[in-house]
Structure 1
Amino acid sequence: MSAPTQRTLSESTDPSTARFVLPAESFALTDLFERVPDARVECESAVANPDDHALLVIEAGEHKQDIDTALRSDPSVADVECFGERADGWTYRVTWKGRPRRLIQRLVAADVSLTSMQSRNGEWQFQLLAPDREGIARAHDIMEDLDCEADCRSISSVDRERSNGSGLTPDQHEALVTAFEKGYYKVPRDITAAELADELDISHQALSERFRRAYQQLLRTALVVDDGEKS
């Protein structure tokens, strides 16, 4: 497992984001990728997993029956419910158990939020948000303790005064930082989405869209920016 270096952890006390990559066999849905190797999974919502549940959008061609069978037999899934088909795949609500449940609970307890969670080719990519670089180090230690075989690919600071190369718009940056400071990512949350939208003087729908675009941009940046080093 690649750990964040001392250089990346020193000095910065700004909220920080990091991208970790985990093999499916060390986290979840191994059965799905064995049955449908080209399946793509994306976790819906602003927070990838505020509790033991997740809303997953799974894209896998015409393999609906194989998806159903794989999810119901996977050792990382306690319960699953299909909500129907969308343009980009099928939506499922899953209840985690085992390692994914323990990992989620421990990250939340360490004040670390999963803002994006997606998988393809049998590999998961997590985007984390923590109060500072030490929070990212705590996340690394948790994944190491649970034998997740995670690889930290990038770390960056979310500074109020600069985007730090993230490509976020000022509105997206403000929404993320305000949400974090107001306790939106805590469990239980200190502020609801509606209250946060009021705080930012925008509609609930506008807030959801702002979050969605911000998380996409953070993940896109993390895929090509690696804190000055290539992965």
Structure 2
Amino acid sequence: MEWIDQVRLVLQILTNTSATVLDVSGDNEYWTLRIMYPYRDELSETSEFCDQYELSFEVERVRELSSETAGRYGLTDEQFDALTVACEEGYFDVPRKADLGDLANEIGISHQALSERLRRGHEVLIKETLLIGSRSQFRIRLEP
């Protein structure tokens, strides 16, 4: 890696705040960083710093982290409940010990609504745990 001035600026951005880098990937055009800021104003400071040094960046997503298990994984409370009930009742077992109709009745929603909720919940879990780095939250363009 050739350490150009802009890389030093990126490192300064991260060391001047309480940011935690969760994931980094890059190519010869972009660095993609998944960063957790404990406070929103530190993201604003980063924005101002990038403006000052003419570094372009884009924030693709901001999500509040909560201490709740569902919030930590990006799930809604309803998705969290549906997934945990399905697991506890044996829906994911082979062979299945519960079917969607029974689970939907237990939760109090339609078969179709439960199916969609489970699919959306699976998608969120996969994106938040397995595909980290393929979807950026903070991207800095480095000009040679």
TM range (shorter): 0.3 to 0.5
Which structure would you say has the larger Rg? Answer: 2
Query: Hey, which of these two has a bigger chunk of strand by percent?
Result: 1
The higher relative CO (CA closer than 8 Å, separation ≥ 6) is in: 2
TM-score by length of 1: 0.31
Query: Hey, which of these two has a bigger chunk of helix by percent?
Result: 2
TM-score by length of 2: 0.46
